[in-house]
Amino acid sequence: MTTDLTEITVVGDDDTGLVARVTSLLFERGANIEDMDQAVRDGVFRMNLAVDTAEMVCTEETLRNDLRELGEDLGLDVQVRFPADRETQRIAVLGTSESHCLEALFEAWANDELGADIGVVIGNHDDLEPLAQQYDVPFHDIGDENGQQNEERLLEVLAEYDADLIVLARYMRILGPNVVFRYEDRIINVHPSLLPAFPGAEAYRQALEEGVRVAGVTAHYVTTDLDQGPIITQRAFDVPDDADLAEIKRRGQPLEADALLEAVRLHLNGDVSVHRGRTSVRGGETTYQLGLSDEMDELTPDRPVDGIADAVDGATTPDGKSEDEAERETEPEPPANYSSH
């Protein structure tokens, strides 16, 4: 959404009349709705609004309270984020046991290369707690003894730390609509394949079993459709003929961290946007690596390509004549008494 607009997210059980009640309240207070999107998944209703509140006839606090009271009346959770609320951004990182992506985020943060604060680390196991403690960041374990996540507890922690962006640093659980709808286009995941190839679990193993020669990783926004969210960055690597699963992981994990970190920077800088399920990157002073590096791009052959034969057939000389016409003009004329009989 545009950074100078107020973002309003409405989530709750689906029912009739929800859209009308919310939009009527905004209209009555002089707020202009610039964009609106709604969806229902598994009985959960979601509506996102981009609202111009510059000329509304009440204060920001009044609008926030009025929307909260309406939400309580309708059984909805209403979140309001005014432009000033997004000036300082906070990240919540979710992880399970693999540490490489979290470590990359922490290092960038410690070196002032992230552009936001890491406010909390959340896990469905406690494996990453020592790493969080090393950087003096709170850690919350929301998993049971089998690692099953408690989504209600997850939402409580995210609200407690006022998370602007959720980063899934190899988090091995699927987030349900109740979470995704509240943070749409604000959850970034890294998946160990070149999506849309090999979605789901054990992506490296899938690639190995299919005998791919090139594998890769993808950082993408999370949607309610598993591993189908808008792609932000990708990285690729060669798979040797004798590679086993351990070797593929060894090659892929550093690129997982790299692709995820670049995607997070793009988001935090406001340089990536989502439209109709695809991302686009805003041109500016910052240069990003979205796919292959410039060095690899230079090694990619640029010819031959289809259409060369047509171009040759229709080629012209500098004076605009076709090569066939020029050739006929240069042929010597036969003598005057020449006969073809």
Which one is catalytic: 141, 164, 227, 258? Answer: 227
The domain in which residue 121 lies consists of 88-296
49-87: burial string, b at 16+ Cβ within 10 Å, e else: bbbebeebeeeeeebbebbeebbeebebbbbbbbeebee
Tell me the two tokens of residue 29. Answer: 């207070």
Per-residue pLDDT for the chain (341 aa), expressed as one digit of tens each? 456 899 999 999 999 999 999 999 999 999 999 999 999 998 999 999 999 999 999 999 999 999 999 999 999 999 999 988 777 789 999 999 999 999 999 999 999 999 899 999 999 999 999 999 999 999 999 999 999 999 999 999 999 999 999 999 999 999 999 999 999 999 999 999 999 999 999 999 999 999 999 999 999 999 999 999 999 999 999 999 999 999 999 999 999 999 999 999 999 998 999 988 899 998 776 789 999 888 888 888 988 888 766 666 666 556 666 555 656 666 665 555 555 55
Residue type for position 106: F
Same domain, 125 and 69: no
CA distances from 39 to 68, 113, 289 (A): 20, 36, 33
Same domain, 161 and 263: yes
Structural domain count, the chain? 2
CATH number for the domain that contains residue 57 = 3.30.70.260
Same domain, 134 and 203: yes
- Answer whether 93's CB lies under 8 Å from 122's CB: yes
CATH number for the domain that contains residue 153 = 3.40.50.170
Predicted structure pTM score: 0.84
Residue type for position 59: T
The candidate with the shortest Cα–Cα distance to 1, out of 72, 85, 108, is: 85
For this structure, is 238 an active site residue?
Answer: no
Of 296, 315, 334, the domain-final residue: 296
Same domain, 200 and 79: no
